[in-house]
Amino acid sequence: MSALADIVPHVRAMGEVDLRPVLAIETAIYTHPWTHGNFLDSIRSGYDCRVMELAGELVGYGVQMIGVREAHLLNLSVAASWQGNGYGRSLLMHFLEVARQSDVLQMFLEVRPSNKVGRHLYASMGFYEIAVRDGYYPAPHGREDAILLALTL
């Protein structure tokens, strides 16, 4: 393996064998994580599920559902110890590129109002707010709204 492979992350399809490290990250970074079944269903339903690796270590992953001319980004995650290094942006760009290649015209996603990093990332990529879904997310004390964002590709 070249030295470059140690510093440049590699994105590939997520398989069922990846679910152990994916779930380890997922349960560490979310108060209400996806379950094993959520990821398994996504893979088996043919959603666009990808992992990002760096020097053999799984540093991030995401899931998008691609439909007719529309994509919905359902999950975008970077392991806590790797956050803030540009990998989230890079993974998001990867999903956008896959969507473009699938003739998607618009991508949608939900984000918590309290998720400052996520909101900053999406806004900086051109996503704009189109709706608020009341009480969409479970939260430590009750429910939290979701901001529905869209990007025209």
Binding-site ranges for ligand COA (CB under 6 A):
29, 76-78, 83-89, 111, 115, 117-118, 120-121, 124
CB of 73 vs ligand COA, minimal distance in Å: 8
- Per-residue 3-state assignment (H helix, E strand, C coil) for 80-149: HHHCCCCHHHHHHHHHHHHHHHCCCCEEEEEECCCCHHHHHHHHHCCCEEEEEEEEEEEECCEEEEEEEE
Tokens read off for 96: 């956008």
Which residue number, 78 or 104, has a Cβ lying nearer to ligand COA? 78
CB of 79 vs ligand COA, minimal distance in Å: 8
CB of 143 vs ligand COA, minimal distance in Å: 16
Tell me the C-alpha distance between 35 and 19, whole Å.
10
CB of 80 vs ligand COA, minimal distance in Å: 8
Residue nearest to ligand COA (CB): 88
Strand, coil or helix: 16: helix
Which residue number, 2 or 137, has a Cβ lying nearer to ligand COA? 137
Which residue number, 2 or 25, has a Cβ lying nearer to ligand COA? 25
Which residue number, 28 or 103, has a Cβ lying nearer to ligand COA? 28
Tell me the C-alpha distance between 72 and 67, whole Å.
8
